[in-house]
A and B are shown apart, each in its own frame.
Chain A
């Protein structure tokens, strides 16, 4: 499990690499929270390009980070979402709170 970060225009890009399940979600959560504390971004963008599997444990992590960031007046978005991840995203109603943009540039412009 690896989580990479980029910081562009006060936005934190969170690049998750690997499966997001109960086994990996604790580490992903603490890596992201540390980076949010350190950088204090306005908005966050999840780059899901290297995520091929996610279950409801992942939804918990994503909604948790979403709450952190909206509590500080920010927004969250997602990019590069693969079909199986999109199915879980749809079922769990994330559409209403975390928009998916076509690519990184669009996400950075929109939020």
Chain B
């Protein structure tokens, strides 16, 4: 599909960048005039993926997180990438309520939230190399 617009953002894995990252993505996709609900869904899904990169990917050490977002017609694709720890078992990680950090009071619902709020969630991960999450959503026609 033809790419109508694209942006790239790179930032340090600091928790104060979580709200910055989701706000930037929201501002970028606002050009498609999504509904308030659609915009909130994307913001929440991006927040889940960025938070996972910081907590699980880098285990709160410094690293770089990149976000590449593309607009194709009324479809938005958002790739959130870290170069951290990676995921050993992706199927297990995606199970509702699964968390590798229960001691941090995590609920294990991040992937479930992403899957519910987006049309499609693809996970690409290599232990020791990092993780890429691709979030895809097509907005309703205006």
Q: Which residues of A contact B (CB under 8 A)?
A: 19, 21-23, 29, 53, 55-57, 59-61, 63-64, 83-84, 87-88, 91-92
Contact = CB atoms under 8 A, between A and B. Distances in A.
Given A19-B19, A56-B109, A91 B51 contact: no
B118 interface: no
Interface in B3-61: 15-16, 18-19, 22, 37, 40-41, 43-44, 47-48, 51, 54-55
Contacts of B107: 56, 59-60, 63, 92
Interface string B105-131: 111011011001100000000000000
A19 B110 CA distance: 17
Name which of B18, B22, B54 has the most chain A CB atoms within 10 A of its CB.
B18
Nearest to A63: B107
B44 A53 contact: yes
Contacts of B22: 53
Main SS of the interface on chain B? helix
A55 B105 contact: no
Interface of A is mostly: helix
B44 A22 contact: no
Nearest to A55: B47
Contact of A22 (B40, B41, B54): B54
B19 A55 contact: no
A55 to B, nearest CB: 4
Given A60-B105, A60-B106, A87-B40, A55 B16 contact: no
A22 B19 CA distance: 10
Given A83-B37, A84-B37, A21 B105 contact: no
B35 to A, nearest CB: 11
